[in-house]
Structure 1
Amino acid sequence: YINRIALFIRSTYQATLWTKLIQAGSEAKLCASLLQPNETLVMTISLIANEQIKILLQESSDQEFHRCFQFQAPHVESEEVQHFKVKVQGETFQSTEERMVMIKPYKPMTFVQTDKPIYNPGHTEHFELKATVFNYLSKCIMVSVTPAHSLDYTLTPLKDVQYSSCLCANGRKTFSWTMAPSILGVMNVSVSAEAVQSHAACDNEIVNVPERGRIDTVTQSLLVKAEGTEKTDTYNWLLCPTGVTMTEEVELQLPKNVVDGSDRISLSVLGDILGRALKNLDGLLQMPYGCGEQNMALLAPNIYILEYLRNTEQLTPAIRDKAIKFLTSGYQRQLNYKHVDGAYSTFGQGSGNTWLTAFVLRSFGKAKSFIYIDPVKTEQTKTWLERLQGEHGCFIRLGKLFNNRMKGGVTDEVTLTAYITASMLELNMSVSDPVVYRSLSCLRNSTSDLSNTYTTALLAYTFTLAGDMETRAQLLQHLDTIALQEGGFLHWTQTSSETSASLAVEISSYVLLASLSASPMSTTDLGYASRIVRWLVRQQNAYGGFSSTQDTVVALQALALYSTRVYSREGASTVTVHSPSGEHLFEVNQNNKLLYQERALQDTEGKYSVEVKGSACASVQVSEYTPPNTKVQDMDLYITVNFKHLRSVVWLDSWFMKCKFFPYVLKCIFLDRLVSLTCSSLLPRWRSTTTSLLLLTAQRSVSR
């Protein structure tokens, strides 16, 4: 088995051919030429690995020559980069060339698992496990494939399938078994392939058994998930003892339809309410990266957390590098949705979107202290927004959002103007700036109608930033009269019958921002803010985010500002969690405030109590994960989708369904369940020469 040298290097007097890839232990061939020397030259060819030099050729000549020779490649256990070095030297001439070569381990046979490594088999479902054997030898072999025995699963041979087979040069063969897992979670599956003796000929050749590498065993990890959609319940507490012990209790009960063995409990403790979000910077929002709105919802929280860590001198190089990586990639991605006039829209086409453009301006203005933001593009964006200001000072709403939930409660001209004005004030634009001055005049005319709680909260924050303390006091006084108070918790909803958790989080976060942004801030303001924070912390999910997009963005901005205001370099606390199986201790101090301390608990039902002693705040979370054992009946799913300006990839998003459309293919997540859809019709209907309307009707029968 010989490697032919393939790469050509040429200098004044020499030409050398070598390969970029060599099989370990094989016979490799190398060719070198000395070209028209005008003096006596010495050519030395070496292979360099781990600071050891092996001379392959050394020859002196004053005549042209061409030499091809064989050498044995070194043996390695794993892929290894080595170097060829060619040196030509004479009295008046010297030349050195180096090139890298990859040495790959000798593997006459290997197998790879070809199925995806994640399965949802439920209790009884079986699936097919496949393994493919490759023969890298130049001769035929008889290969026998054997899976390893395990208590975690059962592998059953398929009917009429032989697990010994001829495999000739560069051939491959796939073997399959029926697999029935007996556990949930990660399990390892091992399969061995062995070249064996055989009296039967393979393709009219005598079967070869290699001296080395007769047996190859590969272990593949498989993740077996329970049937049903995993449900996560979180219980959060922010406990700040001041010389007294603080205690909270919770009783966990499993739903009746949970899959046996699939439930789990996670307990986590931090010394900082933003620590959980910091740990999951890339996972706060479980959503795709498909458009400009979603990209910004993922980018903005990084900025507020970075600002907090920088302002409190907790920003380490590792955290900074991680966050800046997200910021940089998010910034570059967002530019794909920028229009030439400076506006931004969902997909970068059609009309610019007023709210999204303001969101981008606000975020990029803050991000420029961490990464490079093109000031020319920022000025274009600001100018585009300013042109949308009407004579009365309010801003005109343009463009459609792909997901209206992205803009939270910004639903009318007044709230849109308040959002844009707050964005400009956050970027340190002066209240005397003509654009800001006119927008504030528009907003003052709207303060007589306080029927919309969201608008009132956003106005309170905007006038706080503007330094209009009289209007701020009027708005906060009204908000205080309609606040929902329970014990030490404080929050707001849009109406008494409003059930939107995300809107309640966003409203409460704007009130918190208004309470914290005044200067100077009184002790009363801080105490009032603490009650809002305690409620907000209770709404966090297991990743440190919240239930939706804008509520996560605004809430983390508010929590970051609160954490900056109350940050202390002193104090320590001990957290004790009592569970049915025992006691768990955690220490929170100044050295580990941002350390995410987590333990998996064996008990999934019963009473849990959390006790905090000391002088430092502790953020405690108990997360319960329970995939329900839901049996889905046969059903037909009908979806009609209208597309204008069809692109290669389009996302359709609603409260119950997310669809990704490729040409002639539609994939949807329907009520958190991935559904593959078959197109039953694709009918183009032309309305004009520039606009087409495509009607797609998709149907899929889903059964379990």
Structure 2
Amino acid sequence: MVRVQLSNSSHFSLRECADCQYTMCVCAEESRVFQWEVSPSSLGEVTLEVRAEALHTEQLCGNEVAPPPTVGRVDTVVRKLLVEAEGTPVAVTHNALLCPGAEKPAEKNISLLLPDLFVAGSARASFSVLGDLMGRAMKNLDKLLAMPYGCGEQNMILFAPNIYILNYLTSTAQLTHAIKERATRFLESGYQRELTYRHDDGSYSAFGKSDASGNTWLTAFVMKSFGGAKPYIFIDPKLIVDSRTWLLSHRRQDGCITSVGKLFHNGMKGGVSDDVSLTAYITAALLELDAVNPMVSGCLQCLRVAVAGKLENMYTTALLSYTFTLAGDQQTRAALLTALHQRSVTDGGTRHWKRAEASEKVLDSLEVEMTAYVLLAVLSGTPVPGFDLDYASSITRWLIQQQNPYGGFASTQDTVVALQALARYGAATYSSEGACVVGLSSLGGASWQFTVDQSTRLLYQEQALDRLPGDYRITAQGQGCVQAQVGPPGAGLCTGTGLCPGPGLCPGPGLCPAPGVEEEGGVSKKPRRGSHLMG
């Protein structure tokens, strides 16, 4: 005979159901179901503890009296139940690249604010520190984007970033066995999954053979990613050759590549420069593979004609600057970078590029992508006068501001290109010397310290912030840069309708971000990113 009990807790109310039994016979190889009515009274993880005890009784159990064991009369099972509030989850992330000077620490004062309308108890925040530019993406390789991986392009988000992280860690002598094993595991699974989207002619499409044909852009994306992964996992070389041959078959007499198949990437859609953008992307992919053949020279001729004309599309110009950098055409590269510089947007030590047609209220993923292409153009190849590491640093600061809590960005392509660019910048500025001490203090008197040196460079250090709303001060002293983030360990949740705390801060009717961060430099009004701390 067994008696089962669910332990009481201050985090939920417990009621036994009217017709339920909690003491009954349980024979060998038999199972029973016990039920309770549980109503949680707090958010977060709630502990459920169930205790089963074998009782001494004279009642028959299976036509015999079953004496309780002398040892192991009681079993206890503990499980965690995640309780989430009603409403719409909203996560606001705030990133900081703190670089103290030789004699002057980097400092930031922040105020964590809550909107007027949110679910009580749902607002949570934490402060985290990493000593490496790629550390956050490295920690969250499997969740860089909050999206399903249901097509040939989306699957590549599980694949391509691993290449740039492995390249970066290898070049800076930071690659450990554990990181390499994890990253190569993602590469191998992504490689096998992507093959299901392959057509017999060597091309790839979003939904594989269910599509009428392969797609030129996705085929180039897969081809360059497979080529980049060759140092780390086995890639059948025939797959790369077949893709290159298929792409070559769609080259026109003027050297441009014709778009074939369904195209889901916004940067390649519409406008008179559609074929130019596509050709520039494919040419860059071939040059990254060190492909030297008539196809590349023909494509470059197509692109030179476009450059000689009037380039108005900012995305196309940024992509071309990287393509001609890889091609070693310094004259065209310098001309494109100069034109881009004249159209750049600077703000508080950051630099980026905007599309004229982009929304002012929501961050445009193409702005992230084309800004990353400019950073790649600046950092690749022979330095161009006026475009040095200081110039690259201002671009990097803006890109870091746009990262989500996991180190990714908004879409597949802006995440892939931005991580490639950040890895290039991290390798160019890496130093194994120095250490930095980061301090966090609240006006209420609490304080914490985090030490970042070579031994803790890749260590994710985090502290939950209990005072919401509350005022905090961040300081960084020493040598080197650290990346700090204020973000939700869980999401702040809002519900109902009402006014938001400020214009442009609501991602939708009645949705209010919590918590918000205010800083001396102003508050970003773009809802998906919130404000950001840069020092």
TM-score, scaled relative to structure 2: 0.86
Moved more, 216-225 or 302-311: 216-225
Deviations 1:353-399 (A, max 9, x none): 11111000111111101111111221111111111111111111111
Question: For residues 157 and 412 of structure 2, what CA distance do their matches in structure 1 show?
Answer: 6
1:237 maps to what in 2?
Answer: 96
Give the counterpart of 1:439 among 299, 302, 316: 299
Residues 1:163 and 2:1 aligned together: no
Q: Matches of 1:415 and 1:250 in 2, distance apart?
A: 42
Aligned partner of 2:515 in structure 1 is: none
Over 3 Å counting, the alpha-carbon distance change for 1:612 and 1:217 in structure 2 is closer
The C-alpha deviation readout for 1:27-52, integer Å capped at 9, x for no partner, is: xxxxxxxxxxxxxxxxxxxxxxxxxx
- Could you give the per-residue CA deviations for residues 139-173 of structure 1, whole angstroms, max 9, x where no partner exists? xxx43322222222221011232323344554332
Q: Contact 1:408 / 1:551 at 8 angstroms: preserved in 2? A: no
Share of identical aligned residues, percent? 51
Once the two structures are TM-superposed, the CA of residue 626 in structure 1 deviates from its matched residue by 4.1
* Deviation of 1:606 (Å): 2.5
1:503 and 2:335 aligned: no
**Aligned partner of 2:345 among 481, 484, 490:** 484
Equivalent position of 1:391 in the other structure: 253
| 1:428 aligned partner | 290
Shift, 1:211, TM fit: 3.4
Partner residue in 1 for 2:318? 457
* Bigger shift: residues 502-511 or 251-260: 251-260
Aligned to 2:431: 568
Q: What is the alpha-carbon distance in structure 1 between the residues aligned to residue 313 and residue 52 of structure 2? A: 70
Please state how far the C-alpha of 1:408 moved relative to its aligned partner. Answer: 4.7
For residue 41 of structure 2, the aligned residue among 182, 193, 202 is 182
Out of 195, 209, 233, the residue aligned to residue 335 of structure 1 is 195
Aligned to 1:211: 69
The answer to whether the aligner puts 1:605 opposite 2:469 as a matched pair is yes
Q: Distance in 2 between matches of 1:577 and 1:198?
A: 61
Q: What is aligned with 2:492? A: 627
Distance 1:550 1:268 in 2: 26
SS in 1 for 2:391: helix
TM, length-normalised to structure 1: 0.66
Q: Are 1:291 and 2:151 an aligned pair?
A: yes
Q: Any idea what SS the aligned residue of 1:370 has? A: coil
Q: Structure 1, residues 480-509: CA drift from partner, whole Å, max 9, x if none?
A: 122111121101111165344311111110
- Which amino acid in structure 2 is aligned with residue 284 of structure 1? L
- Displacement of 1:627 in angstroms is 2.9
Deviation at 1:544, TM superposition (A): 1.0
Contact persistence 1:450–1:456 (CA under 8 A)? yes
C-alpha contact (below 8 Å) 1:235/1:538 kept by paired residues: yes
1:585 corresponds to 2:449: yes
SS of the equivalent of 2:493 reads coil
Unaligned runs of 5+ in 1: 1-141, 633-655, 657-670, 672-704
Determine helix, strand or coil for the equivalent of 2:245: helix
Q: Give the match for residue 549 of structure 1.
A: 412
Call closer, same or farther: CA 1:259–1:595 in 2, change over 3 Å.
same
The 3-state SS of whatever aligns with 2:438 is: strand
Letter in 1 for 2:435: A
How far residue 523 of structure 1 moved from its aligned partner, in angstroms, is 7.0
- Give the whole-Å Cα distance in 2 for the aligned partners of 1:236 and 1:456: 28
* Distance in 1 separating the partners of 2:357 and 2:119: 37
Q: Could you say which residue in structure 2 is the equivalent of 1:221?
A: 80
Letter in 1 for 2:51: S
Could you tell me whether the CA contact under 8 Å between 2:130 and 2:452 is conserved in 1?
Answer: yes
1:570–1:202 distance in 2 versus 1, CA, 3 Å: closer
The answer to whether the 8 Å contact 1:228/1:627 transfers is no
Aligned pairs for 1:301-380 (under 5 A) are 301-349=161-209, 350=211, 351-380=213-242
Distance 1:355 1:194, change over 3 A: same
SS state of the match for residue 230, structure 1?
strand
Say if 1:227 and 1:627, in contact at 8 Å, map to a contact too. no
SS at match of 1:622: strand
Identify the residue that residue 266 of structure 1 maps to in structure 2. Answer: 126
Q: 1:320 & 1:493 partners in 2: Cα distance?
A: 36
Question: Are 1:264 and 1:601, in contact at CA under 8 Å, matched by a contact in 2?
Answer: yes
Once the two structures are superposed, the pairs formed by residues 393-432 of structure 1 within 5 Å of their partners are 393-401=255-263, 404=264, 407-411=265-269, 412-430=274-292
**Secondary structure at 1:326 match in 2:** helix
Looking at structure 2, the residues matched to 521 and 362 of structure 1 have their Cα atoms a distance apart, in angstroms, of 26
- Which secondary structure does the structure 2 equivalent of 1:445 belong to? helix
Q: Provide closer, same or farther for how the CA distance between residues 202 and 370 of structure 1 changes in structure 2, counting only shifts above 3 A.
A: closer
Distance 1:253 1:421 in 2: 48
What secondary structure is seen at the aligned counterpart in 2 of 1:191?
strand
Question: Residues 627, 438 of structure 1: CA spacing in aligned structure 2 closer, same or farther, 3 A cutoff?
Answer: same
1:472 alignment counterpart = 333
Distance 1:479 1:420 in 2: 21
Give the structure with the larger strand fraction.
1
> What one-letter code is carried by the residue in structure 2 that aligns with 1:429?
A
In the superposition, relative to structure 1, how do residues 191 and 341 fare at CA in structure 2: closer, same or farther (>3 Å)?
A: same
Instruction: Report the structure number with the largest CA radius of gyration.
Output: 1
Structure 1: 4+ residue segments shifted above 6 A: none
- String of CA shifts for 1:202-227, please: whole Å, max 9, x gaps: 67x34433334544332222222222
Name the CA shift for 1:199/1:596 in 2 (closer, same or farther; >3 Å).
closer
CA distance in structure 2 between the partners assigned to 1:270 and 1:506 by the alignment: 24
Alignment RMSD (CA, Å): 2.2
SS at match of 2:86: coil
Letter in 1 for 2:495: T
SS at match of 2:141: coil
